[in-house]
Amino acid sequence: MRRAISKLRPKSRPKPRSKPSASAHACSKVFVLSDSTGNLARHALTAVLTQFPPRSISLRFENFVRSEDRVEKLLAEAAQQKAAVCHAIVSDAIKHRIKSKCRAARLNCFDLTGGLVGFLEKSACVAPTHNVNVLHCLDEAYHQRIGAMEFTLDHDDGLGLETIHEADVVLVGVSRTSKTPTSILLAQQGYRAANVSLARGVVPPQQLFTVPARKVVGLTIDPDQLAVIRAHRQVAWGMTQTDYGSPRSVNEEVKWCRALFRERGWPVLDVTDQAVEETAAKVIGLVGPLSPPIAAITEIISN
């Protein structure tokens, strides 16, 4: 009878474990070491961090780490804080020192450049120089970038029209289509970028029409989004209320601009909900590489 009753009783189930809340976890710390400006590590980690919850990982950047004394000091701090270590170091000696110190302290360690350098060395059968000073050498590529940035600043928002034909690319579009920040990003990569703002009812500068169509890129945007952007700008700047942010006026202006792009045969990029980095990359895809090409390692992606 007791056996029969026991069979009828429901078996007790283990209580499900509750998932710990995000606040229950301490923010993970990572020391990021670089022997130069830290741009490579910053760009790489910033891109990867988009895949993690906000503020779940804390990065501490330490740049121009070139001496063993400083390495020792930083690794001691990392061990004290139980932080991981990520680095972009060129020197083999310092690489090995970081690796051994992290292993001894049981710290997670990752080398951003080691695998890539080894891959290129094996593939090309060429030994790397391990010279950190060549990253920012004042060579022809450096001067090309600086010249491009100076050109872009001198040709922002319709300036310098008399020499606009010297541009590698000219961005055109109505107000608030991210022409200036996109131009600056292009200049950082060696492109002499100019930009000209267009407005319905205002005749575009004739100098613009002397630029080959293959060098001109039209930027457009969703009219509803543009109206919101302009309305916010009017409020923030205390501007007098005009048709500048009117949805009807904005829609007509964007429609007129797109018609002009078609008439002139200019390629068009829609920048709606698009980061300027994406726009700059797509512009380069349209106009092609520089001639002569700039050095592969540039300031924006260097170590």
Say what the pTM is. 0.73
Token pair listed for 165? 């034909």
What are the tokens at 59?
């990065």
Instruction: Verify that 32 and 116 share a domain, yes or no.
Output: yes
Q: Is residue 86 part of a domain?
A: yes
Burial class (CB in 10 A: 0-12, 13-18, 19+), 215: middle
Query: CATH number for the domain including 164?
Result: 3.40.50
- Residue for token digits 């990867």? 48
pLDDT tens, position by position, 184-231: 999 999 999 999 999 999 999 999 999 999 999 999 999 999 999 998
| Ranges of the chain whose pLDDT falls below 50 | 1-2, 4-8, 10, 17-26, 295-303
Same domain (yes/no): 144, 32:
no
Among 134, 161, 195, the domain-final residue is: 134
Contact criterion met (CB below 8 Å) for 265 and 213: yes
Task: Give the range of the structural domain holding residue 175, as residue numbers without chain letter.
Answer: 140-287
In this structure, are 149 and 225 located in the same domain? yes
- For residue 234, the model assigns a pLDDT of 81
Question: Where does a domain end: 101, 134, 167?
Answer: 134
Residue 172: inside a domain: yes
Asked whether residue 33 falls in the same domain as residue 58, the answer is: yes
- Is the domain of 167 the same as that of 251? yes
Residues 192 and 81 in one domain: no
